[in-house]
């Protein structure tokens, strides 16, 4: 008489272990270690996780909120596969731009160009947004006559010639670009939006990171402390989530270096708040740069945002000194520089 066959249970998918760590309930789940975070994200970027696993993984992290330890692991994994130039480009400022603007124009673009006009190399990166209510950086730059780079080599040329380059995420981290696009499908942001801000793919001296939700400033700080990059990371609750100081209120900033983290606050420029723009026309930025019109809120935003970057570049100088320098730069700006950025 034949014995009934015994079927072995199917082997668990290798990536499932990370979902189990995060999703075993209130008592059974825990955070990922930095090593687990790095290993799990390497697997995702290498195509070793299924779409269902990726969605579950990202949303479990979204519900509990990523830790600084997890975020640093994700960043390490992504940096290992980013397209980087063979030789260093001597970038001064890494300026991630992933949020888009909804209430006010992207005045931070003039801050970045102001720094570039003074010889500082500014590398900006981001994505084409899909929300019609927001003005995203590629569209705003196009209105200023500044083309996005078509690849890392073109970005290198622009940095040499203009000291400014914008490169889309798809050109240097295509796997990550696919993940960030899941927001439209899942309906929520994920840790991908945080790690993109922390990539600093060209090892710039300063990483300028704007976050929207205040608790994420501490998460970015903790991750930056773990990464121990050679430069300085400056983190603010930026207007609309971009790295842009809102001059209508005090702006707390966290400066992180290998020596540790320091908290400083840039005081408000105005006692009363300005109304949001009735329309976001990026051509206004060009008119303000060339002095054809003035904009009280916008010019204050440009100066204070640039001041935070200058403070990060020169940590021994006071924040007030950085603000005075940024104001002097703005008042004596090269108005022809914006024309020179046109290809």
Tell me the whole-structure pTM to 2 decimals: 0.93
Please indicate, yes or no, if residue 87 is contained in any of the structural domains.
Answer: no
**What does the pLDDT look like over 265-294, one tens digit per residue?**
999 999 899 998 888 999 999 999 999 999
In terms of domains, do 22 and 165 share one?
no
Give the span between the Cα atoms of 125 and 189, in whole angstroms.
18
In terms of domains, do 176 and 46 share one?
no
Q: Which of 45, 79, 113 is the last residue of a domain?
A: 79
Please indicate, yes or no, if residue 84 is contained in any of the structural domains.
Answer: no
| Domain total of the chain | 2
Domain residue limits at 75: 16-79
The CATH number of residue 42's host domain is 1.20.970.10
Q: What is the pLDDT along the chain (343 residues), one digit of tens a residue?
A: 555 555 666 678 989 999 999 998 888 899 999 999 999 999 999 999 999 999 999 999 999 999 999 999 999 999 999 988 888 899 999 999 999 999 999 999 999 999 999 999 999 999 987 777 889 999 999 999 999 999 999 999 999 999 999 999 999 999 999 999 998 888 888 999 999 999 999 999 999 999 998 889 999 999 999 999 999 999 999 999 999 999 999 999 999 999 999 999 999 999 899 998 888 999 999 999 999 999 999 999 999 999 999 999 999 999 999 999 999 999 999 999 988 764 4
**What does the pLDDT look like over 194-240, one tens digit per residue?**
999 999 999 999 999 999 988 899 999 999 999 999 999 999 999 99
Nearest to 220 by CA among 190, 246, 254, 188: 254
Q: Which of 38, 53, 79 is the last residue of a domain?
A: 79
In terms of domains, do 229 and 291 share one?
yes
């Amino acid at each position: 008489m034949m014995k009934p066959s015994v079927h072995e249970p199917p082997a668990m998918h290798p990536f499932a272990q990370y979902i189990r760590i995060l999703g075993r309930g209130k008592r059974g789940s825990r955070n990922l270690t930095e090593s687990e975070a790095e290993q799990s994200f390497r697997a995702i970027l290498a195509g070793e996780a299924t779409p269902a696993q990726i969605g579950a993984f990202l949303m479990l992290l979204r519900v509990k909120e990523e830790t600084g330890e997890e975020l640093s692991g994700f960043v390490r994994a992504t940096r290992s596969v980013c397209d980087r130039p063979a030789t260093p480009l001597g970038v001064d400022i890494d300026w991630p731009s992933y949020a888009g603007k909804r209430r006010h124009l992207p005045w931070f673009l003039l801050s970045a160009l102001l720094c570039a006009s003074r010889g500082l190399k500014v590398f900006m990166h981001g994505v084409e947004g899909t929300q019609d209510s927001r003005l995203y950086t590629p569209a705003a730059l196009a209105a200023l006559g500044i083309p996005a780079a078509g690849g890392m080599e073109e970005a290198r040329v622009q940095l040499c010639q203009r000291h400014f380059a914008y490169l889309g995420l798809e050109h240097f981290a295509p796997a990550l670009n696919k993940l960030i696009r899941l927001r439209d499908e899942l309906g929520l942001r994920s840790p991908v939006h945080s790690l993109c801000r922390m990539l600093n793919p060209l090892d710039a001296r300063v990483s300028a990171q704007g976050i929207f939700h205040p608790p994420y400033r501490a998460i970015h700080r903790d991750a930056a402390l773990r990464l121990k990059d050679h430069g300085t990371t400056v983190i603010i609750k930026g207007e609309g989530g971009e790295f842009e100081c809102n001059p209508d209120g005090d702006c707390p900033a966290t400066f992180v270096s290998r020596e540790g983290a320091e908290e400083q606050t840039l005081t408000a420029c105005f006692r009363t708040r300005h109304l949001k723009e009735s329309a976001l026309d990026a051509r206004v930025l060009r008119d303000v740069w060339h002095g054809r019109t003035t904009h009280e809120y916008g010019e204050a935003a440009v100066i204070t945002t640039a001041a935070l970057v200058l403070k990060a570049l020169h940590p021994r100088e006071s924040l007030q000194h950085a603000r005075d320098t940024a104001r002097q730069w703005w008042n004596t700006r090269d108005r022809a520089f914006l024309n020179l950025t046109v290809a």
